[in-house]
Amino acid sequence: MQPLQIAILAAGKGKRMRSALPKVLHPLAGKPLLAHVLATAQALNPRAICIVEGTGDPLRTRFAGADVVWARQDPPRGTGDALRCALAALPRDGVTLVLFGADPLARAATLREVVARAQRGALSLLTVNLDDAEGYGRVVRLADGRVAAIVEHADATPEQQAIREVNTGVMAAPTTAFARWLAAIDNRNAGGEYYLTDIIALAVRDGVSVATTSATSVTEALGVNSQRDLAELERRYQRAQADALLDAGVALADPARIDVRGTLACGRDVSIDVDCIFEGHVTLGDEVVVGAHCMMKNVSVAAGTMIAPFSLVEDAQIGAQCRVGPYARIRPGTVLADEVHIGNFVEIKASTIGERSKVNHLTYVGDAAVGRDVNVGAGTITCNYDGAAKHRTVIEDGVHIGSSTQLVAPVTIGRGATIGAGTTVWKDAPPEALTLNAKTQVARSDWKRPKKG
């Protein structure tokens, strides 16, 4: 079997995107279009991957850690010229698969079929039938069904424009054949460019078989040329994610209103309400309920926990049978043990909260270690930042903290202590004792409330 190498053509500026950002760096499901293509390419285990970039593109910086070779196309002169640039950086033997940096959703299984036909000596194309083929190159066949040529939309006759089978651009062939055909194409066409598709006619002339693989769905053949294309592809991608979740038994209130921008793994009887966003790697245990309008990023949630509406949870671990929200913010580095309650307008950052502890109202807990069975009253603040450094607060088991309390770190609240409402704690509070600031309440019977004139 001939070795495989992959050329990813990513030098297009994407003028129709109307953006300073290169087209292939626009995000689909939370990561750049090119990242999707590169991940699929890597799944094919090629011996080499070459990415063709344009002048001034930040692609190398964005993918600095990728195991790829780079080629530069300067000036941009079409897809045929881009592949020439790639072949100059790749081994001269084997089979080369051509992918496009803004066509992100081709399946690895489909591409393996394309490659297999090329390894048997054919020029192998990936095609798809579209109801609306506007802008796509048409697959022109002979009367016996063999492929004769690919005609770009701008150069097609009215009869050719009526053809529904289109070229996706994805193709594979023996590398030596690619090099021979690319040396023979010219740019005498409406675009003044070297079209990669012109090699099909040359393959036919040489008597080389032109084999086609039909994409399993329109989605895996679609590319991005405009913001409209990107938005449509995002919805198609998200609908596919929703369908997979439904098939796995997840209850979605509305499959059209969920975004998975990473991976979402769910246990049994998970329920997700509308307009929720999942980023990075999220795991939801059995019987987890996620309320409407929540955003979760790199989170694990254990069984039976409820995330109430409008909550933001990121880079955190949530235990079993917890209650979080509504309107809670769980920031990176937070670990909630089992049966913890985090209520409305509560922010937790880089803290551990022990079993059965409750932080239910209008509170900030940062850089803290909170024990078991602790109750934190409304309006409590851990004052963890002195303007230069962060400091830790330790709240031991069984502590009761009254409302409107300030805990000035570094400070430790001893086991079983009670902190009176409105207290500012700047020294360690002893265990099993009441700590409060002395206050005097004054009532003035001679005072008159001001009145409007």
Helix-helix angle 175-182:79-87, to 10 degrees: 130
Which pLDDT does position 321 carry in this prediction? 98
Fold of the domain built from segment(s) 251-435: UDP N-Acetylglucosamine Acyltransferase; domain 1 (2.160.10)
Domain spans, the chain: 4-221, 251-435
Which pLDDT does position 155 carry in this prediction? 86
Q: Can you tell me the distance from the alpha carbon of 224 to that of 369, in angstroms, rounded to the nearest whole number? A: 48
The confidence band for 113, taking pLDDT boundaries of 50, 70 and 90, is very high
Span 421-444, mean pLDDT?
A: 94
The confidence band for 197, taking pLDDT boundaries of 50, 70 and 90, is confident
For residue 429, pLDDT beyond 80 = yes
* Percentage of the chain lying above the pLDDT 70 cut: 100
Span 415-425, mean pLDDT?
A: 97
Residue 10 corresponds to which amino acid? A
Neighbours of 391 (CB within 10 A): 16
Which pLDDT does position 302 carry in this prediction? 98
Lowest mean pLDDT among 199-208, 271-280, 315-324: 199-208
Which pLDDT does position 94 carry in this prediction? 97
Span 411-434, mean pLDDT?
A: 97
Which pLDDT does position 101 carry in this prediction? 96
For residue 55, pLDDT beyond 90 = no
For residue 152, pLDDT beyond 90 = no
For residue 260, pLDDT beyond 90 = yes
The confidence band for 320, taking pLDDT boundaries of 50, 70 and 90, is very high
SS3 call for 205: helix
The confidence band for 233, taking pLDDT boundaries of 50, 70 and 90, is very high
**Tokens for 358?**
């409750």
**Tokens for 174?**
């023996």
Lowest mean pLDDT among 145-154, 254-263, 273-282, 321-330: 145-154
CATH architecture of the region 4-221: Alpha-Beta Complex (3.90)
Which H or E run includes 182?
A: helix 175-182
CA–centroid distance for 1 within its chain: 35
Which pLDDT does position 188 carry in this prediction? 87
Which residues, including other chains, have CB under 8 Å from residue 244's CB and lie 6 or more apart? none
Which pLDDT does position 253 carry in this prediction? 98
The confidence band for 372, taking pLDDT boundaries of 50, 70 and 90, is very high
The confidence band for 451, taking pLDDT boundaries of 50, 70 and 90, is confident
* Phi/psi at 287 (5° precision): 60, 25
Which entry of 153, 293, 341, 361 is annotated as an active-site residue? 361
For residue 452, pLDDT beyond 80 = yes
For residue 449, pLDDT beyond 90 = no
Most distant CA pair in the chain: distance in Å?
109
Which pLDDT does position 134 carry in this prediction? 82
Residue 293 corresponds to which amino acid? H
* Phi/psi at 365 (5° precision): -125, 115
Q: Is 36 a catalytic residue?
A: no
Q: Can you tell me the distance from the alpha carbon of 272 to that of 190, in angstroms, rounded to the nearest whole number? A: 51
For residue 230, pLDDT beyond 80 = yes
